Amino acid sequence: MAKTPGRAVFEFLDERFLLSDIITFGRKKMVPEHRQSFWYFFGGICLFLTGIQVATGLLLLLYYTPHVDFAHESVQFIMSQVKFGWLIRSVHSWTANILIGVIFVHMFSTFFLKAYRKPRELTWMTGFFLLVMFMAFGFSGYLLPWNELSYFATRVGTDIAGSLPLIGKWLKTVILGGPDVSQATLSRFFWFHVALLPLAALAFIGLHVLLVQTLGMSKPVGVREKREIPFFPDFLLKDAVGWTLILVLVGVLCVFLPWEVGPKADPFAPTPLGIKPEWYFTFMFTTLKIVPPHILGVEGEMLAILGFLAGGLLWLLVPFLDRRAARDERSPVFTWAGLAVALYIIVMTVLTYTVPKL
Amino acid sequence: MKRRNFVNLFLGGSLLATVAAFLYPVVRYLLPAKQASAAQQKVTAAKVGELPPNSAKSFRFGSSVAVLVNTAEGQLVALSAVCTHLTCTVRFESDTATLFCPCHNGRFDLGGNVLSGPPPAPLETYRVEVAGEDIVVSRKS
Amino acid sequence: MPMKKPFSRLVAAAALFAPLVVFGQKNSCLECHDQLEDELKAPVTAFKGDIHGQFNLSCVDCHGGNPAEDDVDRAKDRTFKGAPKRTQVPQFCGGCHSDGAYMRRYNPGLRVDQLDQFWTSRHGQLLKGGDSKAAVCTDCHGVHGIQTAKFPKSTTFPWNIPQTCARCHADAEYMKGYKIPTDQIAEYQQSVHAQALLVKKDLSAPACNDCHGNHGAFPPEVSSVASVCRQCHLSAGELFARSPHKKAFDELGAGECEACHGNHKILKPSTAMIGTDDPAVCAQCHEQGSRGFAAAAEIRTALDGFEGAFQDVEGLLALAEQKGVEVSDAKFKLLDVTTILVGVKNLTHGLDVAEIRKSVGEGETALAGVRAAGEKALEEARFRRQGLVVATVCLAFLAVALALKVRQMSRQRKST
């Protein structure tokens, strides 16, 4: 019985990396199958899309220059001169938005399925930090092309950070690297986007995935279904079908709606009318716009910002607050609260784009 | 057996095709393009000695037109050639040593200042440096 | 009739100064009239914003009288001049405004020839002939609330001038008997000049006074229309001046630029103005078979060809851009062609067919380069769509293959 070349390679690696042991461990991992198990795919989709971002980001890094005199020009160059530059850049921009959307879906699905309950509290918390990190990825990346929209969106966004009580001014200066959006800001945001955040995200993704692998998939409260399928390769193959379909979507978007370069940022130009941050920030942005100027003598905007911070903290600590879920009991109060939050985010986001002069 | 082999073959084949379809653009992307790098804010407008005194040459600067003038005294100046009235392209007039806009008679001196006519603002001036054989124009700020 | 140096003014000044020492700057004119109504109160209200007031000139400086006196009869002393009659307004204002030495004290840069100019104007001539309906200083500048022409709300600020002239010139009732049209302002408002001045607020665009003159307002003579227009449109004027049309139009009494472009309702010109078919005007003078007729047809053909090609390429770039391809480089090169196109259209004033053809040739050469870039861009758009199809097909196969594999595996597990 001659060994196939594949077998020979495997045995070579196995002796050195102890692959067989890893494979045996991997085969043990099972994924429950029930009516809601469709939601399990979203975690893998997040990971897949992150992989695309890393790959396309790495490629963009080859031609991008993070200096105010060259940033816009280098993006223009990528879009017009570099072979398939338009594709790499458009994939990066579109996937960024899709990824953040999928993260929200993943977060809310795990919330409603109460997957955060004991012993998965840390999975939830690392996940929430990852959401914040990816929104920071979006915010920092948005400035890098140095076009009109990105310059002013950054200004507006950091102005909001600057209005926090006590630490606001200091925080804004630290984020911007100075009093205004300038070269210092571009360098800083570039550093956030390609160094600091990727390392932090890698660490937290590592923790998050490790926890998922160690603890297995959570089953919703009250599900008695015992059916399971192996993670490797069955679940993964199913996940891969989803990934393939998403790739088709991204491809269509990039060919028919390539991301625009826009006019170069001019700090002396007046702020364009109707300037907004990217869609995933708009629910907070619109809240600040419609909140009344004063509530019980306190500045309305500040109260709203503090409200968001407090809300975020509560959201982070949900696994510890939801006692009933921790006892594997139904907790409708938290379900309703989650629905209210989801509805609020959706309504505020839609309002931003449908109501004129907001 | 045959069925299983077919499925594996189909999977392997389509995976290979997909990978190839993705690898092709990435490889093309990585190979350097003909134009070495992005349009720069430093432009070689002309070669030393190319312009006789009291003459000018227009060239592309960023996304608009600029003009390089070699004055009668042999000094090199570069300015935006976009008239500040209605964006027509100004041209150098050697007998008056001014920049003239043919659309509505706007006239600028070689410092960019408006001498007469409708333009409401001066022309932006650029920095000129001689680097060996090249006359390089860049933004001032 | 030059104004005699107002000796009475010295008396008024003396009468004014004496009480000033004791009572401060008393102005009984303003005080009294402020308590009256309607037309008698109006001057007080208006004077608050008057430029003469800003130079500490007041009622007495124009009307005489004694502002220190509260009693109306004593205030209206011998020096009191009252309101001048319409026909005497020019001399009234000119009394100060034509006096160089006097005006120097207030504004050394201000001209002092307005009155002289006024007598050369149509308004001045009519007035001299006894027609009091003609415009005098106050009709345009206002009476008591006079503001400098540099102030945007002034009746004589460039973008307010059409309205100021329209007060008479657009009033058909008022203008009855003068045998000139009353639709000039309405026509002007449809013009590119009005669009520039009144809408875009471009102060370099002409209002009535830029072509007709300010104080010496008069319609330009036929042979000087081109001189008026070329104040701004220099190259068109120069080309016209060296063309065969200059002599011909002047002899015919046709108003040079006006013959084709109109005088008040000057619209954006188009190539349709040249040629042998309506609405071109060439055929009005040039009969079929004549040299002029042939030239007109030739010029039009050349222009249309070039402009048509330009619009084609513009459309090509727009299409490529809409399909997602970056065309900023090509658009930049198109700017050069735009400059040539504008230049070619201007060259038509010179009527030199050879010159026009040469310029069109240059333009079409430049355009060819842009067209090539545009077509390359469209090709790129096609390539991208083709690539998408290939990638989607591969991915579709992959998705199917994965699904089959999953099904196979789950069947296998069930059977084992």
Range of the domain at C364: 291-388
**pLDDT score of B41 more than 70:** no
**Is this prediction's pTM over 0.95?**
no
Q: Pick from C210, C209, C205: which is nearest to C193 by CA?
A: C205
What's residue A357's pLDDT? 66
Q: Which of C324, C391, C402 sits opposite A258 (nearest CB)?
A: C324
Specify the pLDDT at position B1: 54
Residues in chain B: 141
Chain B interface, mutation test: which of A64, A83, A87, A245, most B Cβ atoms within 10 Å? A83
Q: B42-138 belongs to which CATH class?
A: mainly beta
Structure tokens at C367: 């355009």
Mean pLDDT within C330-350: 88
As assigned by CATH, the class of the A37-220+247-283 domain is mainly alpha
Interface touch B63/C339, C-beta < 8 Å: no
The predicted-structure confidence for A134-186, as pLDDT tens digits, reads as follows 999 999 999 999 999 999 999 988 988 888 878 889 999 999 999 999 999 99
Residue C329, pLDDT score: 83
CB pair distance less than 8 Å for B41 and A76: no
Token pair of C26, please? 């008393």
pLDDT in tens, B61-70: 877 889 999 9
**Higher pLDDT residue, A1 or C138?**
C138
Whether the predicted pLDDT of B40 surpasses 70: no
Query: C205 to chain B: which residues are within 8 Å by CB?
Result: 118
Confidence of residue A349 (pLDDT cuts 50, 70, 90): very high
Residue A21 has pLDDT above 60, yes or no: yes
What's chain C's Rg over C-alpha atoms? 35
Check residue C13 and give its pLDDT.
59
Tabulate helix, strand, coil % of chain A (nearest 5).
70, 5, 25
Separation CA C267–CA C256 (nearest Å): 16
Interface contact B33-A62, CB threshold 8 A? no
Asked if A76 lies within 8 A of C328 by C-beta distance, the reply is: yes
Q: Which of C232, C391, C398 sits opposite B105 (nearest CB)?
A: C232
Q: What is the pLDDT of residues C86-116, one digit of tens each?
A: 899 999 999 999 999 999 999 999 999 999 9
Query: Least CB-CB distance to C406: which of A76, A87, A238?
Result: A238
**CB atoms A247 and C395 under 8 Å:** yes
pLDDT of residue C168: 93
pLDDT beyond 80 at A345: yes
The pLDDT of residue B115 is 93
Nearest C-alpha in B relative to C411: B4
Is C248 domain-assigned?
yes
The residue among C288 and B112 whose pLDDT is bigger is B112
Instruction: Give the mean pLDDT of C261-265.
Output: 89
Which is nearest to A312 in space by CA: A174, A180, A132, A148? A132
Nearest to C404 among B7, B60, B104 (CB): B7
B54 in reach of chain C (CB within 8 A): no
Model confidence at C1, pLDDT cuts 50, 70, 90, reads very low
Q: What is the mean pLDDT of chain C?
A: 87
Q: What is the pLDDT of residue C326?
A: 86
Among candidates B110, B106, B100, B139, which has minimal Cα distance to B121?
B106
Exposed / middle / buried, residue B91 (Cβ in 10 Å: 0-12, 13-18, 19+): middle
Whether residue A70 and residue B139 make contact (CB cut-off 8 A), yes or no, is no
Among the residue ranges A147-161, B24-38, C34-48, the one predicted with the least confidence is B24-38
Domain residue limits, chain B = 1-31, 42-138
Question: B-chain residues within 8 Å CB-CB of A70?
Answer: 38, 40-41
Structure tokens at C117: 């100019």
Which residues from C are below 8 Å from A246, CB to CB?
Answer: none
Whether residue C223 has pLDDT greater than 90: no
Query: What is the percent of chain A where pLDDT is above 90?
Result: 58
User: Mean pLDDT across the stretch A332-357?
Assistant: 91
Tens digit of each residue's pLDDT (9 = 90 or more) over C360-415: 999 999 999 999 999 999 999 999 999 999 999 999 999 999 999 988 888 887 77
**Across C331-350, average pLDDT:** 88
pLDDT in tens, A262-288: 888 888 888 888 788 889 999 998 998
Average pLDDT rounded to a whole number, residues B44-52: 86
A85 CA: distance to closest CA in chain B (Å): 6
Q: Is C416 on the interface with B (CB under 8 A)?
A: no
For position C71, what pLDDT does the model report? 85
pLDDT of residue B37: 53
Q: Is the pLDDT of residue C2 over 80?
A: no
Give the lowest-confidence range in A147-151, C251-255, C299-303. Answer: C251-255
- Measured CA to CA, the distance from residue C75 to residue C26 in angstroms comes to 12
Mutation pick from B14, B19, B27, B37 vs chain A, by most beta carbons of A within 10 Å, is B37
Kindly indicate the confidence band of residue C122, based on its pLDDT and cuts at 50, 70 and 90: very high
What residues of C are in the A interface, CB distance below 8 Å?
324-326, 328-329, 384-385, 387-388, 391-392, 395-396, 398-399, 402-403, 405-406, 409-410, 413
Beta strands B114-116; A228-230: pairing state: unpaired
Where residue B80 falls among pLDDT bands split at 50, 70, 90?
Answer: very high
- Sheet strand arrangement including B98-101: B91-93, B98-101, B106-108, B114-116
Q: Is the pLDDT of residue C23 over 70?
A: no
Tokens linked to A149: 């929209």
Query: Closest Cα of chain A to C97: distance in Å?
Result: 44
CA neighbor of C208 nearest in space, from C93, C121, C86, C87: C121
Interface contacts A/C by beta carbons within 8 Å: 57
Confidence of residue B6 (pLDDT cuts 50, 70, 90): confident
Higher pLDDT, residue C17 or B29: B29
The more confident residue out of B100 and C20 is B100
Predicted complex ipTM exceeds 0.85: no
Over residues C50-65, the pLDDT tens digits come to: 999 888 888 888 888 8
Residue A57 has pLDDT above 70, yes or no: yes
Contact list, C403 vs chain A (CB under 8 Å): 241
The percent helix, strand, coil of chain C (3-state, each to 5) is 65, 0, 35
Statement: residue C346 has pLDDT above 80: yes
Q: Which residues of B touch A (CB under 8 A)?
A: 18, 25-26, 28-31, 33, 35, 37-41, 139
% chain C with pLDDT above 70? 94
pLDDT over 90 (residue A27): no
Residue C232: per-residue pLDDT: 85
Q: Is A79 on the interface with C (CB under 8 A)?
A: yes
Contact at CB, C406 and A237, closer than 8 angstroms: yes
C 304-343 residues with CB below 8 A of B? 328, 332, 335, 339, 342-343
pLDDT score at B34: 65
How confident is the model over B97-115, as a mean pLDDT? 90
Residue C305 inside a domain? The answer is yes
**Other CB atoms within 10 A of residue C73 CB:** 7
Asked if C302 and C247 sit in the same domain, the reply is: no
**Pair (C249, C313) in one structural domain:** no
Total tally of structural domains belonging to chain C: 2
- Nearest residue in chain C measured CA to CA from A84: C384
